[in-house]
Chain A
């Protein structure tokens, strides 16, 4: 912190003004990515979201720039933590998991460590594929997959109901997923 403050201070000294400004802009870029993104960044991210398997050259062509320029921008988006990775999507039904249930859970908030202990225990259940925390009527939501209803009942009784600090639990069973695209409307 002291280093940055000193560097910003240098900006007022005439001969070092350029250096000072450069360092200042680096400080800003690590905190405020929003202002750093331009149209090209957004175009590249839009294309990448639409088809993550595109090569850098294809991505550049679709965004109207050279492969080299696309490569540099993508690298910068990775360095600044805007683009955090690519993850394979698994279709659990193909592996025999036909049932998906959303469990909406209310915790006993009088227990200071309720969230931490609940989440740590939920991580040990292999069939839990998502853990989300909320502000609202529901505290935590778990996505649970199972081979069939018999299997689900077994997971529910033997694993879910033994999780700590629950005061209420409510289930929504997924009938169909009509739309699943975590693309951001850039």
Chain B
């Protein structure tokens, strides 16, 4: 486990907000030289804390008006059915997130679609036909907000 100091935390918070900013710009805001900032970013990357970037797009303006979270329960269990299900579900282009969970459902999926009719198509043709799929619960996403987390 990696211990962070206050400067590391400030760097992580700044990069969560804007990962495209230069080390010089970031450093000047937190009172650190460009090389010192760069070294810290590199260490956070090497230590596996910073694992990449996410491009934020306005899904609505690109014609993707609906995001739905699905809770999926498998009808049949066993090693083979889990593997089959997992292999098939990650191949669906509209599925953005697949989590294996413990609790009321076996999997949590995040699905993006153009509108509700398009979502229905994805649900019927792609999700309900997945191997081993049982009960499915859908919740339509209205808003979301990412928090910085314990930094």
Task: List A residues at the B interface (Cβ < 8 Å).
Answer: 33-34, 37, 45, 48-49, 52-53, 80-92, 94-97, 102, 119, 123, 126-138, 141, 145, 170-186
Digitize B1-42: 1 where CB-to-A-CB distance is under 8 Å, 0 elsewhere: 110100000001001111110000000000000000000000
The answer to whether B101 touches A172, judged by C-beta atoms less than 8 angstroms apart, is yes
Q: Are A134 and B141 interface neighbours, CB within 8 A?
A: yes
Q: Are B101 and A175 in contact (CB under 8 A)?
A: yes
Q: 6 closest Cβ contacts across the A-B interface?
A: A136-B139, A88-B15, A33-B61, A96-B1, A172-B103, A52-B53
A-B contact pairs, 13 of them (CB 8 A): A84-B57, A85-B17, A86-B53, A88-B19, A119-B145, A131-B144, A133-B141, A135-B139, A170-B104, A178-B98, A179-B98, A180-B98, A183-B55
A-B contact sample (6 more), CB < 8 A, given A83-B57, A182-B96:
A83-B56, A102-B101, A178-B86, A182-B97, A184-B59, A185-B112
Q: Tell me the complex Cα distance, A102–B104, Å.
A: 11
Determine if B51 is an interface residue (Cβ-Cβ < 8 Å): yes
Q: Which residues of A contact B19 (CB under 8 A)?
A: 52, 86-88
- How many residues of B are in contact with the other chain, CB < 8 A? 62
Q: Does B119 contact A (CB under 8 A)?
A: no
Residue B142 is within 8 A (CB to CB) of chain A in the complex: yes
A49 to B56: give the CA distance in the assembly, Å.
9
Find chain A residues with CB under 8 A from B48 CB: 91, 94
The residue that B139 contacts in the complex, of A52, A85, A137, with Cβ under 8 A, is: A137
Per a CB cutoff under 8 Å, which of A81, A170, A176, A183 touches B58? A81
Q: Is the CB of A134 within 8 A of B16?
A: no
Q: Are A33 and B62 in contact (CB under 8 A)?
A: yes
Partner of A52, one of B55, B64, B86, B145: B55
Assess whether B77 is interfacial by the CB under 8 Å rule: no
